[in-house]
Structures are given as structure tokens and as C-alpha cells.
Chain A
Amino acid sequence: MSRIFVTGMGVISAIGNSVAENHHALKLATCGVRNELDLFPSKYAGILPFGQVQISTDTLQKKLSVTEPGVTRTTMLAMHAFEEAVKDAGISAPDLTSFDTALVGASTVGGMCLTDELYNDANTNHEGSVYTSSYDCASVCMYLQKHYKINGIVNTINTACSSSANAIMYGAMLIKNGFAKRAIVGGSDSLAKFTINGFNALHILSPDKCTPFDENRQGLNLGEGAAFLVLEKEEDINGKKVYAELSGYCNTNDAYHPSSLSEQGDGPFLSMQGALQVANLLPGQIDFINAHGTGTENNDEVESRAMIRLFDKPPAFISTKANIGHTLGAAGAIEAVYSIFSLMHQEVYPNLHFINPIPSTGLIPVQSYKKMAVQHVMSNSFGFGGNCSSLVFSKV
């Protein structure tokens, strides 16, 4: 089957509104997580830290010239990243609307960022808002499809926090199987009262800035953002710029618990191992891992254990969730872009706020920016429901 290349990228997160801004911020070890939340009223605003994108919903709407009612922040974040990726890949207008251009998105929040509107519509307290068809996770891609007139296969995947890693994988499979010539793949989620209260009820929100892989980590910070990648096959490149090859991918299930990982990390182990097999690589050939690293007690320890099981001595690794928070359905795509930065620039970024290793594993993430040779990078995404996915990107 054909090799799949990344030819365009777009990203928006708490540390920047573009690929260039995100790259610059990672190099400077920027933490975009702050005790700031002004998107909607919440009792946790100003008390808990969040990775909020530094553009208001109104400004996004103006910038993207969205005039219809009922378009949510989640959708607009997606549009912002989508437009950057499509422009970056130089996809012409006819190519964008051709029957062989696929769009695969992912979201876990969708229009539920409108918690109060949804509450009213679901309980029919009134006539029905302009948002009645905007709540589901598919509403993001449904809008992108209509707005950009996508005629190829369109899909939305929700495997919780591994959603957009699976969107990338599905897009690559569509190309390999001849269902599409090119695929625009990614994910988007915005901060929502719904997820804030959900993770809070599970007692896994950190009261302070999260400290992935640190002994005294206290939980995760929620973030928001979006990223899209353009995937094309090798035969269609014709001298276009190529950022990386998507060389491996694997999706597994931990089959242990609805909201936490098994002690030995079977799901994470199998997804990392499977991705290596698809890429036809040995563990020792992975130079760098962008870990899932949420900063929760359970994830970081289990992920460390799974890395030790597979790699024996794991390669350099970090979690960028200390920079932007956990962006849920967007995390896999945003972190794919960050992983590709390391291939493009032959450098790795620091895992912020780390002090002491987890005693049982002793793993120490990269703590300062440095230049290094990176040929193959792995990106992990794990979610509720036991969903685990790993991607491998390689330097072309």
C-alpha cells in the first residue's frame, strides 16, 4: 500500500493561533495554562487553571466571516485550523471540493460547549434555540462540509481522548484503500462547563498547573484547541513540500475499566507495539515520544510502565499537556503536529513543571529544549472506554 505523507498542518491552542506561533511557544517552554476562564460563567473560573485559546468566540466569528447562527466555538476552532492546513498544503478550490477529498474530524464536546442552551433545549423549557442541530460531535464536520463544500467521504470519530489520533488513522486508511486521494484529518474541542464538571467529579482536575510524569502530580488541566493535517499519498506529491510520513498507527483497547488504565497498561503497550509493527520499526528506532501524559496519578504511571515494557529503556519523551492542557478530542491531532515539529526541526521541547520522577518507574522526561537527531517519533493518545491509539511519524 502507498506511503502516506503529511503535506499541510494547522493548529490553534492556548499557546498560539498558528503552526508558527505554536512552534515558537514550545521552543520557549511557554505554559498556556492559566487561572483564567472567561468563555462562560463557571464557579471554577479564576480558581482552576485552564488552557484557554486566546481568541474570544466573537473575534473568531469575525475573523472567519461566519454569519450563520448556531455555529459553536468548537466548530470555529476547527475552521481556524482547517483553513491553515488547507492553505499550507496548497489545496486548490477544485481539489478541496473534488469527490476524492475526504474530511475526517473528531470531537468529544462538539456543541456541548453551550451547556446552558443544551440544558434548555433538552428539557424543552422554551421554543428551541438556534443550536438544536449543533450539539452533537458531528456538528463540527457537518458545518465544515457545508462551508467548504466537501464532496468526498466525511466522518466524525469519538473515542474520547484518543479521537483525533483515530481520525488521522482513518484518513490514512481511506487513502490506502482508494476511498480518497487526499484526506484532511484532525480534531477540535473547546472548554465546556460539561467537561470541567465531569473531570472535577472524577477528582482528576489539578488545582495547580499540571505536572506530567512528576511524582507529586495532582491531575490534569483542561485545555481547548484544534488541529488538522493534510494527508496525501507518495505518488501524488509531485515535488510538493512534505513534513513527515505517517509510517505507523494502531488502535487497541485496554479492556480494564471505563475511566482508568490497567496496572500493566496492556492497551497502551499493545497500541505502541502495533504502531511499530505497521511502521516496520524496532522499539530502538523510536527517537522520541510525545506521551499522552495527562498528569493524572493513573495515566502517567501506567503509561511509563507500558513504555518500559516495550522499550526497556524508553527514548526521550515529554508530555505537552503541561503547555496547553488536555484538549480531549483535539489532543491527538495537536500532538501529532507537535511531534512533526521535532522531525522538521530536529529538536525536542521540555516537559514543563517536572521535578521528581515517579518512584516506581524512575522515568525522567526531557527537561530543556535541545537539538537532537529525530528520525522516528511516536505520539500516544489514550481515552475513556479503554481506547488507546499510537501514531508513528517519520522524517522523509
Chain B
Amino acid sequence: MLYIHQTYCISPQQTLLQANIDLINEPIDKKLLAIEPSYEQIPAGILRRMGKGIRMGVGAALPLIAQTGFINGIIIGSANAGMDDCIKFLNQIVQYEEGQLTPGSFVQSTSNVIAGQLGLISKNKGYNITHVHLGLAFENALIDAMMQLNANPTNSYLLGGVDEISSYHYNIETLAGTYKKESISNKQLYEADSPGCIAGEGATMFIVNADAANAVAKVTAISTLHTINIELVTQQLKIFLQKNVPEGMKIDLLISGENGDNRTLPFYTACESVLVDDTPVVRYKHIIGDYATASATGLWYACQVLQSQILPQHMFKISSTKKESRNILMYNNFKGRQHSFILISGA
């Protein structure tokens, strides 16, 4: 279990300080690109050399670290941090036929560059780790934070998920058939009945600790699974709910990672059917797109619900008749193979 205290979300929508989640930005050129703040806390000389993913990750984390004063460690999930620099360096290798190359891009190409830069800029010598396991990179970071807090209950950690749409990564994913071939507006995403999602990106950071006082939310349980078998997913969801939802408690809301890809829709439908019939369902990938660590932003929306009890109508798949959402289940599916269930409730 862990408690979420502060959050910061850079996404393709108005999720920053004065969040306005009613407004919807449409994809441009089939991509939902993040709206970036001015990054006042990143030294200008360093900011210039940062790729977008690194910039977003560091830029989302520094305000939280400053607010909190001191954190004991940095736990980041990112499938592709550093990828842009990696290909830049690769291009140098091929173009200059392994000649004398400049090492800047190479140093920034390792996936741990965000956590490393954060340690460096905030002078944090504590626990520092980067989980890169694709669609479960953020989930493993969350599990890690829970375990660190179990061993060190008085500590606070920065926990986050970051990924960017770099042009190179976009090319590789396009070749792999990840994205929709057609241009599509946010509102039509779930009616499209075609393969692929809209590419998205973002950086979402949380300050987490074991202290219930003044917390925004608590994450009570998490389970992950790799499979392409729908029955196995629903079977594991039932076990997860039996184990973690006490008698008499109900799931008030499902935050679904549905992304408009008709190849993964059956998984989402099957998981919805495990819940009680009138359980409200909200979706968020029409507004932030999909990427490996999108569930971090899903968790940010869960925090929004718990804080304000309001979500815009465009997010609802099955409307709510309830006054209040206290217990939220998140289900996410990455490319039909990586699954996660997360249970969140009001602190």
C-alpha cells in the first residue's frame, strides 16, 4: 500500500496546475503531443541539451521535489526514455562510418537518463532506479515504491511514468502496426472499429509515502500479467478482486485503458463484464493517446476523481448514477499482452 500526496501531469491536455480536463485538444498529424510548461526549474544550459522525453520527465518531477523539500529516492518507469538520442547516435555511427563521434547523444541514450538527471539536479543520493519493461514499466515502478515504503515506512519517494513520441520511435511503431492508419478525432476513437491507437505521450509524477494524513489517494493493490488469453485475464481479475476487495466493499468506478484498437477491445469488454452490471466506466486514451506508461496518467485521473468527484462526460463509457466514487479499479492492456489491475481508494 502507498499514499499519493502530490501529483504533476504533463500530457496532451490541460492537466497542469490550473487543470481543465473539460477541454479537449485534437490529435495533430495523428499524434497527441504533450503541452509543455516553461520548465523554469531546469537550468537553461541543461534544458537545451535535453530531448523531449527527458525534459518532460525532469520538468514534471522538479516542482514536486521542490514542494516536498526532501525525498528519499527516485523511481521512474519509462519504456523508451533516451530513444531519440539513441537513434541520433546510431545515425552518426552509420553516417560517419564509425569515425570520430561526439558522445553527447550516447550519454543521453540510456533509459536511466531521467532518473539520473533528477538525482544530479536535485542532489539526491538516495535510491534511484528506472524500470523499462514496456507497458508494465510504470506498474513495476509502482510495485517498487510500495516495497521501498514497506522496508522504509518513514521515507517519501518520487514515482513517475514518462514516454515521448520521438520521430524515430514513431517510425518503428508505425512499421510494427501500433497506430491507426486513418486520421481520427478524439470523439470518434471508440467507434472506429479498426486496429491501432492514437500515439500519445506524457510525464506524470507523484510524491508517495506511507503517511495517510492529507493524502490524495491510496493505492491498495496491484497485479500484473503477461498473456494473450482473455480468459486468463478475467480469471486473474476475479482472483485480484477476491483477494483485495473486502466483503461489502464495491468497485465504484472502472478506469479503463481502452484505446480504440479493435484488437484489444475484447479484453476490456471481458474485464467490464467481471464487475457488477451498473459499474461506471471511464476512458482516457482518446485525450492522451496511448503509450507504454499511459497508465501513470490514468492514475492521475483516478486522483482527480477522488479529489473532486467530477470527470467530464466525454470520459464516461458507462455513466455514473453514484454520488461518490471511493474505490476505483484501473485495468490497462498494452498491445494485447501486458495487463495490469490497480486498486485505488480515497485516503
Contact = CB atoms under 8 A, between A and B. Distances in A.
B86 interface: yes
A135 B93 contact: no
A242 interface: no
B120 A386 contact: yes
Nearest to A203: B103
Interface stretch (A16-24, A149-157, A361-369): A149-157
Interface string A195-220: 01111111000000000000000000
A124 B113 CA distance: 26
B110 A160 contact: yes
B171 A258 contact: no
A325 interface: no
A201 B110 contact: no
Interface residues of B, number: 67
B87 A160 contact: no
Interface string B115-159: 111011011111111111110110010011011101100000000
Interface in B4-18: none
Contact of B130 (A118, A135, A141, A158): A158
B116 A258 contact: yes
A121 B227 contact: no
Given A42-B98, A122-B90, A258-B116, A136 B132 contact: yes
Nearest to A43: B98
B128 A153 contact: no
A36 B173 CA distance: 35
B93 A150 contact: no
Residue of B102, B110, B131, B134 most packed against chain A (CB within 10 A) = B110
B239 to A, nearest CB: 9
A294 to B, nearest CB: 15
Given A198-B109, A385-B110, A122 B171 contact: yes
A155 B131 CA distance: 7
Contacts of A386: 116, 119-120, 128
Nearest to B135: A138
Interface string B90-104: 111110011011110
A112 interface: yes
B264 interface: no
A158 B107 contact: no
Interface stretch (A54-62, A171-179, A331-339): A171-179
Contacts, number: 207
Residue of B87, B122, B148 most packed against chain A (CB within 10 A) = B87
A159 B128 contact: yes
A123 B91 contact: yes
Contact of B126 (A177, A196, A253, A385): A253
Given A151-B225, A154-B133, A384-B112, A255 B147 contact: no
A30 interface: no
B103 A198 contact: yes
B125 A252 contact: yes
B112 A158 contact: yes
A137 B132 contact: yes
Interface string A230-267: 00000000000000000000011111111100000011
A158 B140 contact: no
B141 to A, nearest CB: 9
Contact of A385 (B90, B102, B115): B115
A118 B92 CA distance: 13
A285 interface: no
Contacts of A355: none
A122 B125 contact: no
B174 interface: yes
B170 to A, nearest CB: 9
Nearest to B98: A43
Contacts of B112: 158-160, 383-385, 387
A99 B236 CA distance: 10
B46 to A, nearest CB: 10
B111 interface: yes
B345 interface: no
A124 to B, nearest CB: 5
B144 A170 contact: yes
A176 B144 CA distance: 12
A378 B123 CA distance: 26
A203 to B, nearest CB: 8
Contacts of A43: 97-98
Contact of A151 (B109, B124, B128, B226): B226
Contacts of B132: 136-138, 156-158
11 contacts: A115-B94, A122-B87, A123-B91, A136-B134, A146-B226, A155-B140, A201-B100, A254-B125, A384-B110, A386-B116, A387-B128
Given A177-B150, A194-B86, 16 more contacts: A115-B93, A122-B172, A123-B171, A138-B132, A154-B224, A158-B132, A170-B129, A202-B106, A252-B128, A255-B122, A255-B124, A258-B108, A258-B120, A384-B116, A385-B119, A386-B119
In the A-B complex, the 6 residue pairs with the closest CB atoms: A385-B116, A128-B175, A198-B106, A253-B119, A201-B103, A253-B128
Interface of A: 1, 42-44, 99, 108, 112, 115-116, 118-119, 121-124, 127-128, 132-133, 135-138, 141-142, 145-146, 150-151, 153-160, 166, 170, 173-174, 176-177, 179, 193-194, 196-202, 251-259, 266-267, 270, 383-387
Interface of B: 74, 79-80, 86-87, 89-94, 97-98, 100-103, 106-113, 115-117, 119-120, 122-134, 136-137, 140, 143-144, 146-148, 150-151, 168-169, 171-176, 224-227, 236, 337
